[in-house]
Amino acid sequence: MRWNFDNSYARLPEAFFARVDPTPVHSPVLVLLNRPLADELGLDAEALQGPDAQQMLGGNLQGPGSAPIAQAYAGHQFGHFTLLGDGRAHLLGEHLAPDGRRVDIQLKGSGPTPYSRRGDGRAALGPMLREYLISEAMHGLGIPTTRSLAVVATGERVFREEALPGAVLTRVAGSHIRVGTFQYAAALDAGMDVPGQKRARTDGADTTRFTRALADYTLRRHYPELAERPTRYANLLDAVIDRQAALIANWMRVGFVHGVMNTDNMTLSGETIDYGPCAFMDHYDPATVFSSIDRQGRYAFANQARIGQWNLARLAETLLPLLHPEAETALAIAEEAIGRFPGRFSAHWHAVMRAKLGLANEEPGDEALGDELLEWMQRTGADYTNTFRDLCAPVAIASPASVNAAFGDPGFQAWHARWRERLDRQPGTPEAALQRMRATNPAVIARNHRVEAALAAAVETGDLGPARRLLGALTAPYDARLDDSEYRQPPAPEQRVYQTFCGT
């Protein structure tokens, strides 16, 4: 299968993980294999469909060089701090790809670990297919994300509200280092008693040992250009802030609602992770919430930047002892860095909004132009994706109502006149503006009613056809193809999905 495993994370202090093997399953059978990703990683896609690969991806066999661990971490979940860890996942190791990339290979749903907290460590087929679909949709959209290599059915049932077919997902990530991992390291340095671990330190011991080790590892792995700087820990914080600001702006560019932005679901690599109660908006509403457990709207669409800043403040707190030996100076450095987040996010958001509107340069009124369109969309219940995509049609510049009947609304017509004037003032041709828009505004997203229909077919009847066809449409979401027209359609009222679930 051409695996090339290394285990650098397992060379950190053992308080960061538990050495534990996946629990074998009854009869693993490959359900989906991501052949393009396998090729990117230098793996043998044909061999990955063989019996040995199915045993390995189901957790029954170990690949050469693999040394499975479950990672420990903490996190603020809906604002409440708790100790966590991989309760149903095993990091098999880090695959070294031919192009030099180092990626985590993790099995999800592969059995209990010391961090399972009385859970069974298993996963159902539906949620694993959902993560596969959404993570590959995000990759197609050009948004940093963990990816899915395979889904394997286990031949066993998992019991939630009902008995469901079990599955194991193979997740590929730049790494699984989270803000919550740093919170865990800081807890160790503070001497907190951690279940399953010896007391982290005694009086007089190094009070930065674990945080420093994790920070140095993160720098070497994700920010090697910063690793030797005297101010490397402040530079690390600043780099993570910028990556997260860009990431959240890109989520919002395509109408994505993560749904569970706990600190254990924010990576230091800047990748999107954990596709539980996530979804894409249909009609535009900044208060959109899908997660069944987010009853207060903490992680609503328009709150994502604010929560991102809050999470990053928690990261900054863990780094304080490394930022400067004087506590007051360290706090000032951290506060200044976190204070830059709103400006960073605003810059990224306005840049993507200008691209969505085809604007090649920047003018003072651009922010208001974008806001006014969004306000019209909210007032009229317009579809977020289709509104922007319909503006990409050449005829939309001269005759918008011929593309979308809603564009005949007087409020839209007034906005459209201002938009045309703005386009006329900028350099370049109208076609160049439209090309810019088509490269930023997808024609196809993973609409929730389509995802749910595909999952229902796979789980209830074993029919993977809808899932495969949806994946095909999501591969090139910026291309307007006639055979994808059904995937552009918003849900009918009876098809709307108002809640999504974690699937644990």
User: Which has the closest alpha carbon to 141: 481, 473, 499?
Assistant: 473
E strand or H helix that includes residue 70? strand 69-71
Q: Per-residue b/e over 11-33, b at no fewer than 16 CB within 10 Å?
A: ebeebbbbebbbbebeebebbbb
Residues with catalytic roles = 264
Euclidean distance between CA atoms 1 and 346, whole angstroms:
45
DSSP character string of 469-504: HHHHHHHSTTS--GGGGGGGSPPPGGG----B----
User: Which has the closest alpha carbon to 223: 175, 272, 295?
Assistant: 175
User: Which has the closest alpha carbon to 285: 498, 51, 439?
Assistant: 498
Q: SS3 string of 353-399?
A: HHHHCCCCCCCCCHHHHHHHHHHHHHHHCCEHHHHHHHCCCCHHHHC
Sign of the CA dihedral with 470 first, then 472, 478, and 480 last: negative
Integer angstrom CA distances of residue 344 from 205, 301, 314 = 38, 18, 18
Euclidean distance between CA atoms 497 and 475, whole angstroms:
23
What pairs with residue 123 in β-bridges?
A: 167
Answer for the pair 208, 161: CB distance below 8 angstroms, yes or no.
Answer: no
At how many degrees (to 10) do helices 232-253 and 327-339 cross?
A: 20
- 150 three-state secondary structure: strand
Euclidean distance between CA atoms 147 and 80, whole angstroms:
28
Euclidean distance between CA atoms 115 and 75, whole angstroms:
13
DSSP character string of 391-450: TTSTHHHH-GGGT-GGGGSHHHHHHHHHHHHHHHHSSS-HHHHHHHHHTTS-S----HHH
- Token duo for residue 428: 């370049």
